[in-house]
Amino acid sequence: MTVRTERLYYEYTGTEGRTGTEGASLSAAPFSANILELRERDGRLALLLDRTIFYPEGGGQSGDRGSINNVPLIDVKEEGGEILHLVDHDAKLENGPALLVLDAARRRDFTVQHSGQHLLSGTIVRLLSAPTVSMHLGEEYNTIDVERGEFSTEELIAVEEAAAGVIEADFPIIIHLCPPEDLRSFPLRKTPPQGEELVRVVEIRGHDFSPCCGTHCSSTGGIGMLRVLGAEKYKGMTRVTFIAGRRVLVDSRRRRHEAETVSRALKIPVNGIAAGVLALNERSKDMEKKLSVLKNAEARREAEDLLRDAASGGLIQRLYADHDMEDVLLIGRTAQKKTAAVLLLASEPDGKFAALCSRKGVDIKALIGETCETYGVQGGGGGGFFQGLLPPAGTRQNFLDELSRKLSALSFVS
Ligand SMILES: [Zn+2]
């Protein structure tokens, strides 16, 4: 049997009797209702109530959160005209009186985001004649998909500014419950749902008319602020990401904190961060160029040093205690150009080794692959190059000695 629940979520916002000084930690007074039925639903318990203050997911707005007899509400959904209050499967709840507590701060937040979305979609239609095709209100960010190609930065700023004007004017947001035959009197922004006895039309006075079942602020001033965070191509449309209300404050605080952290770390003034970072970037590129020149010179010196060890095309082995593998490879590549000897070089700090040989037709992997396997060493390469990880300190020297033996064989073959 279908359970009919009295829907009080439009009237009840959890902010009743509040002074407005509660900040983000707004918690609502408990509300009495009765649990009429409990059902299994996808591994959860679904409660059906005689009346509810919880908004069920719909119209792009997520379902309310809160608690029923102190059991946290996981979600609220509407199915076949019934409102299902979903809680954990093992929740100790039964038929009878229940106290409902709404997460009023979250509801307030979604109400603000939803009104912000109407304002944004309406403003984009008004300024750019581009309709919103779909929308999503997220826990952190919201998006609308707009039937239009790219937006310029100037257009996005114009949209934000126009929306700010409507917020400052504090236009009433009016709810019309309207029989379908009367809908023609409204310049609706989108197609109304079919088959409803009464269609709910949300009007931002004179500015935007949209059929909608969501919760809304009583006037545009409640939106506080609307901020577009970005716009990118999406399935032939443009997806606009935005936030409204307190989320703009939180976002701005977070960005300020990041800017101050960068400012302190790089010792550049917080209001000149962009120019400061660009200048640092240039300096760092210059330094990289200089460093590369120095490293190449150093590699040439080290390579000459290595080559002095080369006994008539034999094997040259060296374990570097103070060079990372990148440097070691640079030395190896430089030396390789001047010798036919096999080079077995390793970096102590990186725990890596490489074998290099400039002679054609050499297959180092075939020579040392087995030894690497025996020592459980991972590595790879092809032809005259092989690179791998050194085994732990205890077996490291034995491993290198064995590699030397194998590679010496190669050195004297030709
Ligand atoms: Zn809506």
Look at residue 339 in the predicted model and tell me its pLDDT. Answer: 86
CA 219 to ligand 1 center in whole angstroms: 14
Amino acid sitting at position 147: E
Which residues lie below 8 Å from residue 413, measured CB to CB, with a gap of 6+? Answer: none
- Residue 414 confidence (pLDDT): 45
Q: Give the per-residue pLDDT at 20.
A: 65
- State the pLDDT at residue 293: 95
Question: 213 CA distance to ligand 1 centroid (A)?
Answer: 6
Kindly give the distance from the C-alpha atom of residue 29 to the centroid of ligand 1, in angstroms, as a whole number: 27
Per the rule left: phi > 0, alpha: psi between -120 and 50, beta: everything else, 405 is alpha
- Distance from the alpha carbon of residue 119 to the mean position of ligand 1, in angstroms: 10
Give the pair of three-digit tokens for residue 7.
Answer: 């829907």
CA of 280 from ligand 1 middle (Å) equals: 47
Helix/strand/coil for 136? strand
Q: What is the pLDDT of residue 26?
A: 59
Domains and CATH numbers, the chain: 6-102 (2.40.30.130), 108-257 (3.30.980.10), 289-413 (3.10.310.30)
Q: Residue 94 Cα, ligand 1 centroid: separation in angstroms?
A: 35
Ligand 1 centroid to residue 231 C-alpha, Å = 20
Give residue 55 CA to ligand 1 midpoint distance, Å. 13
Q: Distance from the CA of 111 to the center of ligand 1, in angstroms?
A: 10
Taking the centre of ligand 1 as the mean of its atom positions, its distance from the CA of residue 154, in whole angstroms, is: 26
Q: How far is the CA of 174 from the centre of ligand 1 (A)?
A: 13
- Cα–ligand 1 centroid distance for 60 (angstroms): 7
Q: What is the pLDDT of residues 3-43, one digit of tens each?
A: 899 999 999 888 776 666 655 555 678 899 999 999 999 99
- The CA 256 to ligand 1 mean position distance, Å, reads 32
CA distance 130 to 196: 27
> Please, are residues 159 and 144 in contact by the beta-carbon 8 Å criterion?
no
DSSP 8-class letter at 181: G
Q: What would you report as the CA-atom Rg of the chain, rounded to the nearest whole angstrom?
A: 35
CA of 392 to the centre of ligand 1 (A): 63
What span, in angstroms and rounded, lies between the C-alpha atoms of 319 and 300? 17
- CA 141 to chain CA centroid, Å, is 10
Q: Minimal CA–CA distance to 121: which of 77, 60, 179, 58?
A: 60
Task: Give residue 114 CA to ligand 1 midpoint distance, Å.
Answer: 6
Q: What is the pLDDT of residue 196?
A: 84
Residue ranges for the chain with pLDDT beneath 50: 413-414
The pLDDT tens digits for 240-280 are 999 999 999 999 999 999 999 999 999 999 999 999 999 99
Report how far ligand 1's centroid is from the alpha carbon of 146 (Å).
15
Closest CA to 294 of 327, 329, 245, 262: 327
Distance 173 CA to ligand 1 centre (A): 12
Q: What is the pLDDT of residue 24?
A: 53
CA of 11 to the centre of ligand 1 (A): 17
pTM of model > 0.85: no
β-bridge partners, 114:
none
